[in-house]
Structures are given as C-alpha cells and as structure tokens.
Amino acid sequence: MKSVKTILLIDDDDTTNYLNQRLLSRMEAAEVIRVVTNGEEALDYLNKAYSGAENHPSPDLIFVDIKMSVMDGFEFLEEYHQFDEEKRKRTVMLMLTSSASFYDLERLKKYPEVRRHYSKPLAEADVREIMEEYF
C-alpha cells in the first residue's frame, strides 16, 4: 500500500482520534500523524506548516470532522480557503463525519477542496481506497 509523509486529523472526539490514529499507524499510511481537536488548532498548525516551521510538516492528507466545538468543520473550510491555492492543491482534504444529514452533505458541495466524505471511524478498506485513489 502507498503511504504519505504527513496526515492531519482534525476531530474533537478523543475515541475517534485514537481509533483513526491507531489504524493509520498500523497500516503505515504516513510517517507522521498529527491530531488537533478543532478548526482553530488546525488553522494554527497549517499556518506554521505552510510557513515552513520545523516541527509542523505540511500535510499530504487532511481528515476533518464536521461537528466540533470551538470551530466546526465548515468554519474551518471557510478559513482554509484563504490559504495559498498552490499549497491547498498539494493536500487531499476528506471529511470524516458521523453525520449523514442531507443538509450537511449538500453543504459540502460548496467546498471543492473536500474530495469525499467518509463515516467515522475509518475502516481499513477506507484507508486502502484513499491511498489508491489519491496517492
């Protein structure tokens, strides 16, 4: 299976983060897996990564949850759109959600950087599919 250098998980659910991080590590999907718990932390991380901060490698793949405290996934996506397009093009953005509401899925269509959504937690088949399709 292919792998990437860095994956960024953005989710405020500790259990989901633990399960996803464990699965991605076991499958050797990335050299580095970083976890942040809301959109604000993610933007802070990306600001540092995109400006070349040593301990903040730019993510190849981002998983973002929709429903989070502090700053939810949609608010994050609004702000993410402000980053340089060249940097955004190098990152695959996927939505991870337990929400299958029609409203949320329709709203996702406004964000072309989100390639697809997956139910959480990730399954081994999801990770294989993602790596084959996008990398």
Q: Which CATH superfamily is domain 4-134 in?
A: Response regulator (3.40.50.2300)
Amino acid, single-letter form, for residue 109: K
Q: Is the dihedral of CA 14, 20, 24, 30 positive or negative?
A: negative
- Per-residue pLDDT tens for 54-63? 899 999 999 9
pLDDT score, position 100: 67
Q: Where are the domains of the chain?
A: 4-134
CA–CA dist 126, 95 (Å, integer): 12
CA–CA dist 108, 125 (Å, integer): 23
pLDDT score, position 122: 96
CA–CA dist 66, 109 (Å, integer): 13
pLDDT score, position 23: 98
pLDDT score, position 80: 95
The model's pTM is 0.94
Instruction: Name the token pair of 120.
Output: 């959480």
Please list the ranges in the chain whose pLDDT falls under 70: 99-100
